[in-house]
Structure 1
Amino acid sequence: MPESPTTAPITTAPTPPAGAADGALALLNRLGAAAIAHPGGNLVDHLQRVRSQLAVWGARPALQLAGLCHSLYGTDGFPAVLLPHERRAELASVIGAEAEEAVYLYGACDRGATYRDLARADAPFHDRLTGRPHPLTVRRRRDLAELTAANELDLARADLAFRDERGAGLLELFTRWRHLLSPGAWDDCVAVLSAPAHPAPR
């Protein structure tokens, strides 16, 4: 069980705890996620859609739970912190250590430094919370890529202005990551991000 903000390997369980999704939703509501506005509704709506998208792509249960909680510690692109990363053990007790580690990696990722080289097997992960780089396993690089795709595609679907502004750059990024993405994720990246630009209102 993690007790510090470090990214040292965490002992993982073969399956998440029973009732983990319900427990995670209860935690999100207790922390006020439903009161935070987000494209397409509120933050809880977004998190549930990300989890559902990962399920459609065939993600394992732990990664689906990570999708449900992926912004709890804040992220490089979403600064609101619902749960300080010093309380990692609290989240791990609800969703399991494997899912929590994926949440931490997603939240701690220094995107500018990490994303550009993530496709390389030897590329380091840059932790914005500790300031220290470290290597990632193939599974964790795939998890980070899949979570990122699910999150960004939900934003693109919910906010056409976001898609028009960021879609080309995201598609370029995901093209570099193609070998890290599941087939369903890649197909959706192409379908959503290659769509014609939304016409400006007259």
Structure 2
Amino acid sequence: MQMNNALATLGTPVLLHAAPEPDREAAALAFLRGIPGTRIRHTDTTLLAHLQGVYAKLKAWGCRDDLCFAGLFHSVYGTEHFRRQTIPIAARPRVTKVIGSDAEALAFQFCTLDTRAFLADVEAFLGARIADAPIDPEKSDLLHLFVANWLEQFPRMRASQRSSHIGFLRHARPLLLPAAAEEVEATFGFNLPLTPRDSERELEALDRGTGTLRILDDFVPLHLRHQLSALMGRNIWRYGWKAADTQTSHFFWHSHFAGDSDDHGNTDCEHELHNRPLVSPVLELWHLIRDQLAPGHVPVRVYANGQTYGGDGHIHSDADQPGHFTSLYYAHPEWDPNWGGETLFYNAGKSDVVAAAYPRPGRLVHFSGNIFHAARSPSRDCPALRSVIVIKTYCPAA
């Protein structure tokens, strides 16, 4: 069926109810497949595949049929973000004939939705909600459409997009069907119990004694990982940073968050993080480290480094005084073993590598500031920015 055939009978009287099941699904899919516009690209797939994916999610969640079919057509008239009209408004009667008046009306309403205003309206309802009072059925339908649309695209989103609605989705879970709420939880891990895997060892650190190196996986919650990766994708970077005074070329990217440039200082800079809403995920990361890994510590310097091919850091230590520690968090959203970028740790004479930390996304490395180390740049094959958040701390009791 070509588009001319699918939309040709606009002047013909149409049925205002849906075709019987299972003919309704077959008719709806045949209708969409006959429209060339559904084959355009949409978030690294086709529009048709996206529409079918949203439909499948709603169906798997146990949503009523009209809501599922609204999901199958949820953006065919264009939306505020997807501004391509695959089916003209004049063809609404034809769409109604295929999926029914209730499903078509809901799809059209979603296409014309002011998302920001809608989300604010739902947040306001949640704020004033008494006990488990149900949300308006129409808003519930739109909410499930919004969540299904978002989650279907989520695996193909850039890291900077994935954190856009984390706060809203966390709050809105009680309004969702159980299966939908479970998928939100599985995607962001709000309540997922973490069982960190911790590797710890002592390393020689010249005449300054030994130092402790800990490598922790599954330490940072999934939703916070998304937020930190998104921050690394923002326009926060300045070029020209170096790891040591010996480095006179091949610099890398840097973003300062709090504290000063003196690694030997002991002044608490947490108030600076509180005053910068943009880096609130970094403040949450620091609180996680403080509460579970470094009680009694205060942050003295907080920043991020970004490296591309050729931007190696020279061997250095972060402090030669007792009580200073460094936490490295690998904030890039993905990494391939062939991309390199390891953090290397050296013996006291800097003559041999005695430990290495692979830059696995979401990994945290915590070590004494007196240990010599260096960040290796990504390989030539790497298309990504090696993004590391650095939190340097001081503990008077150490």
Provide the TM-score with structure 2 as the length reference. 0.40
Task: Give per-residue Cα distances to partners, 1:159-190, cap 9 Å, x unaligned.
Answer: 3x2xx323333121123323331121122112
Which range moved further: 76-85 or 184-193?
A: 184-193
* Distance across 2 between alignment mates of 1:26 and 1:189: 31
* Distance across 1 between alignment mates of 2:167 and 2:105: 27
* Distance across 1 between alignment mates of 2:334 and 2:116: 30
Residues 72, 81 of structure 1: 8 Å contact kept: yes
> Alignment identity in percent?
28
The answer to whether residue 115 in structure 2 is matched with residue 117 in structure 1 is no
2:36 maps to which residue? 32
2:27 maps to which residue? 23
The answer to whether residue 177 in structure 2 is matched with residue 173 in structure 1 is no
Residues 51, 67 of structure 1: 8 Å contact kept: yes
Q: CA deviation at 1:120?
A: 4.5
Q: Which protein shows a greater Rg? A: 2
Q: Which SS does the other structure have where 1:73 is aligned?
A: coil
* Distance across 2 between alignment mates of 1:98 and 1:183: 24
Among 322, 330, 334, the residue aligned to 1:199: 334
Q: Which SS does the other structure have where 2:165 is aligned?
A: helix
Task: Give per-residue Cα distances to partners, 1:92-149, cap 9 Å, x unaligned.
Answer: 110001111110111010112222113445xxxxxxxxxxxxxxx8111011110111
2:180 maps to which residue? 185
The answer to whether residue 141 in structure 2 is matched with residue 148 in structure 1 is no
Residues 157, 192 of structure 1: 8 Å contact kept: no
Which range moved further: 44-53 or 30-39?
A: 30-39
* Map 1:37-116 → 2, pairs under 5 A: 37-116=41-120
Q: CA deviation at 1:25?
A: 1.6
Which one scores higher on RCO, CA 8 angstroms, separation ≥ 6? 1
Q: Which SS does the other structure have where 1:169 is aligned?
A: coil
Give the residue type in structure 1 aligned to 2:153: L
* Distance across 2 between alignment mates of 1:156 and 1:45: 14
Q: Which SS does the other structure have where 2:153 is aligned?
A: helix
Cα distance 1:88–1:119, how it changes in 2: closer, same or farther (>3 A)?
farther
* Distance across 1 between alignment mates of 2:136 and 2:123: 10
**What count of residue pairs does the alignment treat as equivalent?**
172
Cα distance 1:32–1:167, how it changes in 2: closer, same or farther (>3 A)?
same
* Distance across 2 between alignment mates of 1:57 and 1:119: 22
* Distance across 1 between alignment mates of 2:160 and 2:179: 23
1:8 maps to which residue? none
* Map 1:128-147 → 2, pairs under 5 A: 138-147=136-145
Task: Give per-residue Cα distances to partners, 1:48-90, cap 9 Å, x unaligned.
Answer: 1111111111111111111111111111111110112233211
Q: CA deviation at 1:40?
A: 4.6
* Distance across 2 between alignment mates of 1:82 and 1:54: 22
* Distance across 1 between alignment mates of 2:180 and 2:160: 20
Residues 156, 193 of structure 1: 8 Å contact kept: no
Higher strand share: 2
* Distance across 2 between alignment mates of 1:87 and 1:41: 25
Higher helix share: 1
Q: Runs of 4+ in structure 1 displaced over 2 angstroms?
A: 84-87, 118-121, 166-169, 175-180, 193-197, 199-202
User: Where do 5+ consecutive residues of structure 2 fail to align?
Assistant: 1-15, 126-134, 190-221, 227-332, 336-383, 387-398
Give the residue type in structure 2 aligned to 1:153: L
Residues 173, 184 of structure 2: 8 Å contact kept: no
The Cα RMSD (Å) is: 2.3
Give the residue type in structure 1 aligned to 2:152: D
